[in-house]
Chain A
């Protein structure tokens, strides 16, 4: 290896070695903002430097003309067979060593044989199992959810009133029409016809296929009676006029339910459905108190005040629900215009969204986009709707040390914190949201620390729910700003 600089002279042509590294890093998007600015300033005034950059870029683009060939059609199959063969031969070799090790090898061979058999059998029986899967698709997809509510339509109707379980709605474009749809409504979109169902399964991405396969295996293990019970409930649910809404609530409930401890789950399921509802509220309140401590908000209420504040907020916002829902579409439309979002839906869509949106989401949005409105709403009541009566001495002391304006702001912070804890963002929701982001956005997110990453992802998720932002370039800009602040 030479000790001389490794850049050939002919490459530089008036551009020195470090300039060359800098230009490459610039083209690869690896410079920070200051360095990028410096390079861009120089590009503006130095024609040689500009020509060098253009030439490098053209070379890079030229590489795109190379076609990418698919590997041979049997690549996956032979790779899988090779792996099975390799695993078996490793186990066999082990067995030869000693009798004792031989027994161990047999044991270790079992999962491999199972793996190999499962792989082979799965391939041979694909047609049969596929048929059963397609025929029972809706039940297979949802049977765990049905089980979580003991297949009780009555109970499902009752939890529809619990805001927490209602998935937020999204505005979707359907051809030229724009309509309000329920989020996570995959089950609702399962087609009725067999052929369409088969096409639907085929069109699922790999991850969804794997998830479906797991559910299918789980379903097949159920007894005949259980499978019938789920199928009957599925038919009953399909016949409901508000099926979509019910499915959305069920998904929200199930996401929450499966995170509970096993004992909590079985205790809950043993209760009659009316008592179950009270118990659910009580568990939710307990969880909200815990979640409150995790929120990255500066002004959290004293811990002992949290349960009382949850109750207080609930009653105030029930009282003011009409005003909040009326205000929401106006502010949302303004917000979308401010953000220069390209296609603003018609007013009817905003009104529909306001009608069906989760109340906690509406409050959260208004606290950010129109804090004054929420403040006026809370402070118009005499003695703050009895807030001081429910606060602890500690909380009252905190407020007493502040000016009137600061007190208002602090109370709104507490309301915000309590409201956020009631919304809850599940990891599943975040995972799903993260998958929809562009590669650039995800790469930038990855540069953050884990805590910042989660916090930013939650923020993005909330923003997208509130404002329907889906522009990747907008997210890129926002994330750049966050990274810059750091």
Chain B
């Protein structure tokens, strides 16, 4: 089978399989409504993924718009060779990587590394304890837990974080993540394994007791 036949077959498969691919093909034909539909459908999760990647809501929204702009600019060349979301997150990965690279040039970031030296892991329990001192009531526990989880996600390296977000929140398979991040499936497997391990380690105090750090502190210190 020739390459073009194979691409055509793929294209028709994805056109049939993925409604977003069909929308994108309408965008290619100049449909504003189809593009608007894609923006509406994907904005929420895209912004969420980007927020975890760059740790800033406003910047995440700006980057999400940049992603959509790139999708739009690429419309004339668009040929569906994967699910639309796979393509969208390939662009997202590139946009986020560029942004992280630029901001890392601008400022020094001090990261505590893991014993292996490869993983930037911050001592989450310490961070959580620091933050928990700011929480005046038990009602803040849920907020605190969210903060701890966000910190745990932040503690992952950018590639681990991206792989984890695509797996967890986009429900992508290893193959799809590999395609989005331009890695091998084996590399994705390894990234996700490490991401899960790091998260488990960071969140271990909460897992064993099911309580937040504030509750743990209260129990340990006997303070009300």
Q: Which of B13, B145, B189, B193 has the most A CB atoms < 10 Å from its CB? A: B193
Total of A-B residue pairs, C-beta within 8 Å: 172
Residues of B within 8 A of A380 (CB): none
| A446 vs chain B, min Cβ distance (A) | 6
Residues of A within 8 A of B198 (CB): 8, 11
B43 and A75 contact, CB distance less than 8 A: yes
Task: Give CA–CA (A238, B223) in the complex, Å.
Answer: 75
Residues of A within 8 A of B10 (CB): 450
Stretch at the interface among A24-32, A320-328, A404-412: A24-32
Task: Give CA–CA (A4, B13) in the complex, Å.
Answer: 42
A76 and B43 contact, CB distance less than 8 A: yes
Residues of A within 8 A of B167 (CB): 28
B197 and A71 contact, CB distance less than 8 A: no
| Size of interface on B: residues with Cβ below 8 Å to A | 68
In this assembly, does B87 line the interface, its C-beta being within 8 Å of a C-beta of chain A? Answer: no
In this assembly, does A192 line the interface, its C-beta being within 8 Å of a C-beta of chain B? Answer: no
A206 and B32 contact, CB distance less than 8 A: no
B48 and A68 contact, CB distance less than 8 A: yes
| A48 vs chain B, min Cβ distance (A) | 14
Residues of B within 8 A of A427 (CB): 16
| B10 vs chain A, min Cβ distance (A) | 7
Residues of B within 8 A of A445 (CB): 17
Among the listed B17, B31, B189, which residue makes an inter-chain contact with A446, where contact means beta carbons less than 8 Å apart? B17
In this assembly, does A172 line the interface, its C-beta being within 8 Å of a C-beta of chain B? Answer: no
Query: Which B residue sits closest to A52, measured CB to CB?
Result: B200
Query: Which B residue sits closest to A119, measured CB to CB?
Result: B32
B13 and A76 contact, CB distance less than 8 A: no
B193 and A21 contact, CB distance less than 8 A: yes
A80 and B189 contact, CB distance less than 8 A: no
In this assembly, does B150 line the interface, its C-beta being within 8 Å of a C-beta of chain A? Answer: yes
Residues of A within 8 A of B68 (CB): 79, 83
Among the listed A30, A213, A431, which residue makes an inter-chain contact with B174, where contact means beta carbons less than 8 Å apart? A30
Q: List residues 103-144 of chain B with CB under 8 A from any CB of chain A.
A: 114-119, 121, 142
B interface, over-half SS: helix
Q: List residues 417-454 of chain A with CB under 8 A from any CB of chain B.
A: 427, 430-431, 434-435, 439, 442-443, 445-446, 450, 453-454
Known: A71-B43, A207-B22, A210-B23. A55 touches B200 (CB 8 A): yes
Stretch at the interface among B34-42, B89-97, B214-222: B34-42
Among the listed A2, A69, A83, A206, which residue makes an inter-chain contact with B41, where contact means beta carbons less than 8 Å apart? A206
Task: Give CA–CA (A257, B72) in the complex, Å.
Answer: 34
In this assembly, does A47 line the interface, its C-beta being within 8 Å of a C-beta of chain B? Answer: no
B189 and A56 contact, CB distance less than 8 A: no
Residues of A within 8 A of B64 (CB): 71, 75, 79
B23 and A55 contact, CB distance less than 8 A: no
In this assembly, does B54 line the interface, its C-beta being within 8 Å of a C-beta of chain A? Answer: no
Known: A2-B116, A11-B200, A75-B43. A122 touches B193 (CB 8 A): no
B69 and A86 contact, CB distance less than 8 A: yes
Residues of A within 8 A of B73 (CB): 86
Task: Give CA–CA (A67, B48) in the complex, Å.
Answer: 10
| A6 vs chain B, min Cβ distance (A) | 5
Query: Which A residue sits closest to B34, measured CB to CB?
Result: A210
Q: Top 4 closest A-B pairs, CB basis? A: A24-B193, A11-B197, A206-B37, A59-B200
Pairs across A and B, CB under 8 Å, 22 listed: A2-B116, A5-B116, A9-B115, A11-B201, A20-B197, A30-B189, A56-B197, A60-B168, A60-B196, A63-B149, A67-B146, A68-B44, A79-B43, A83-B35, A206-B41, A434-B16, A435-B19, A446-B17, A446-B83, A450-B13, A453-B13, A454-B16
